[in-house]
């Protein structure tokens, strides 16, 4: 019965070839360091899921942001866990991305034919940092407010367009409700879209080209 359904579906979806291409492909013998990439993907999925759950309760206005975060932490069922996973997941994301990148540099994996994979990877690192920076403001507590005040101020040092950058980031000369709305929008719409598009390409290339083998002493 099971195989009949599988056959019926395969005739229509062609899933077997996809399954073979992705899951049954051959991989050179590699060590545990090569799990860093998929670990990063796992944490990214964790961030997406917990992030979506957080937006169900979070309100991105200065009047309510802090209260809603308190509510999530103290009142919502398992809210502490969702927020905790998202908070620590952010740090894990940075750590894993950087370790993954160091592994790639150390083993020379960015070389032919995987240059494009590397380029998308660097963009993904910048996106992860952007997530960290925008997400920091959202709880609207003292740390969030002042670190963002200083952080945006630092960006304004850029020669020539510094002041413009500051105004764009803050949505005005001062940190305000506009800044919070802006950071929220970037954190939940702009960066996730970019992350999905780029990590899609990244994964496609990883599967298509295959992950590199451990280089021998002569390679």
Which residues between 197 and 216 bind another protein (CB under 8 A)?
210, 212-213, 215-216
**Minimal distance, residue 173 CB to another protein, in Å:** 8
Diameter of the chain by CA atoms?
70
Instruction: Report which of 82, 105, 76, 178 is spatially closest to residue 137, judged by C-alpha positions.
Output: 178
**What is residue 162's DSSP assignment?**
H
Interface region with another protein, contact rule CB under 8 A, candidates 4-12, 22-30, 188-196, 197-205: 22-30
Instruction: Report which of 23, 18, 29 is spatially closest to residue 211, judged by C-alpha positions.
Output: 29
The distance in angstroms from the start CA to the end CA of the chain is 51
Which residues between 111 and 140 bind another protein (CB under 8 A)?
111-113, 115, 118-119, 122, 125-126, 129, 132-133, 136, 139-140
What gap in Å lies between CA 52 and CA 81, rounded to an integer? 14
Q: Cβ closer to another protein: 36 or 195? A: 36
Q: Cβ closer to another protein: 5 or 24? A: 24
Q: Cβ closer to another protein: 10 or 119? A: 119
Is 191 a binding residue for another protein by CB under 8 A? The answer is no
Q: Is 98:173 a contact under the CB 8 Å cutoff?
A: no
Q: Is 147:132 a contact under the CB 8 Å cutoff?
A: no
Number of residues that bind another protein (CB under 8 A): 91
Which residues between 75 and 114 bind another protein (CB under 8 A)?
80-81, 83-92, 94, 96, 101-102, 105-113
């Amino acid at each position: 019965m099971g195989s009949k359904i599988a056959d019926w579906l395969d005739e229509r979806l062609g899933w077997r070839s996809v399954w073979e291409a992705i899951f049954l492909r051959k991989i050179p013998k590699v060590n545990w360091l090569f799990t860093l990439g998929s670990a990063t993907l796992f944490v990214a999925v964790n961030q997406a899921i917990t992030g979506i759950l957080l937006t169900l309760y979070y309100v991105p206005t200065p009047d309510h942001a802090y209260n809603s975060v308190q509510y999530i932490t103290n009142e919502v069922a398992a809210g502490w866990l969702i927020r905790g996973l998202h908070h620590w997941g952010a740090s894990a994301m940075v750590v894993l991305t950087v370790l993954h990148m160091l592994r790639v540099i150390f083993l020379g994996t960015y070389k032919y034919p995987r240059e494009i994979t590397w380029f998308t990877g660097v963009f993904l690192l910048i996106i992860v940092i952007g997530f960290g920076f925008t997400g920091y403001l959202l709880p609207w507590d003292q740390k969030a407010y002042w670190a963002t005040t200083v952080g945006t101020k630092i960006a304004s040092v850029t020669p020539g367009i510094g002041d413009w950058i500051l105004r764009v980031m803050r949505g005005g000369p001062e940190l305000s409700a506009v800044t919070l709305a802006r950071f929220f929008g970037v954190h939940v719409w702009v960066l996730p879209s970019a992350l999905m598009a780029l990590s899609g390409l990244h994964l496609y290339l990883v599967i298509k080209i295959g992950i590199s083998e451990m280089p021998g002493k002569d390679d």
